[in-house]
Homo-oligomer: A and B are copies of this chain.
Amino acid sequence: MTTTERQPLTRERIIQAAVELADEHGLEALSMRKLGAALGVEAMSLYNHVGGKEDILDSMVEYLFHSIGPIDTTAGWQASTRVAAMAAKRAFAAHPWSITLLSTRETLSEGSFAVMDAMVGMLLADGYSTEVAHHAWHAVASHVMGYAFQEINSVFGNLGDPDQGHVEELIAQYAERFPSLAAIGPHLMCCSYDEEFEFGLDLILTGIAALEPPS
């Protein structure tokens, strides 16, 4: 009682709580009032530490890129890009709100620039032209974003789900109208998202490597 029993509100605690709230109940459930309640505080108290909801959302994006972790560029372009792309995909896929949030931000993210710079830097360091490096960045980034999107929004259940019966039922229901979809049904249900991601990633990486063999 002599010292402050409750730890004071800080920007970091607010962002952390926002991430947890969005993880648990979805981005649409993230409101200033609920966020305050989760921290044992009224909504307006948050404004002493953050600029507003947009500021919180921007910070969540920064948190996201930070959660990718440092990018190791020492293993050579192809191997390093593989690891970094995997890490980025995992970071996005770990938070169902990531893609939706990213798609609504128009502020530029420092974190995204850092990742972009590291990936492009590896290519340039290995002797690729700025043109190819630019192409490669877009191709890899597309694959990461697009695959994370598919993994998060898959209607065929996520890996942890034991709800596979529901998926079979779904496919059976559409089998007549979409026969080809039904044909690949088994793969849709039990695919490993990491292996699936790597398949496409390797198509891109080996394709780029074939363009201009590094010295």
Contacts and interface: CB of A to CB of B under 8 A. Distances in A.
Interface string A89-115: 000000000011011111010000110
Contacts of A144: 146
Contact of A174 (B113, B121, B181, B206): B113
A120 interface: yes
A-side interface size class: 35 or more
Interface in A130-185: 130-131, 133-135, 137-139, 141-147, 149-150, 152-153, 155, 170, 174, 177-181, 183-184
Contact of A114 (B131, B139, B178): B178
Interface stretch (A14-22, A34-42, A186-194): A186-194
Contacts of A131: 187
A130 B199 contact: no
A135 to B, nearest CB: 5
Nearest to A134: B187
A183 B146 contact: no
A146 B141 contact: yes
A196 interface: yes
Nearest to A98: B103
A204 interface: yes
18 contacts: A100-B100, A100-B103, A100-B104, A103-B152, A106-B153, A117-B179, A117-B181, A131-B187, A135-B196, A138-B199, A139-B143, A139-B203, A145-B146, A145-B149, A146-B146, A146-B147, A146-B149, A203-B204
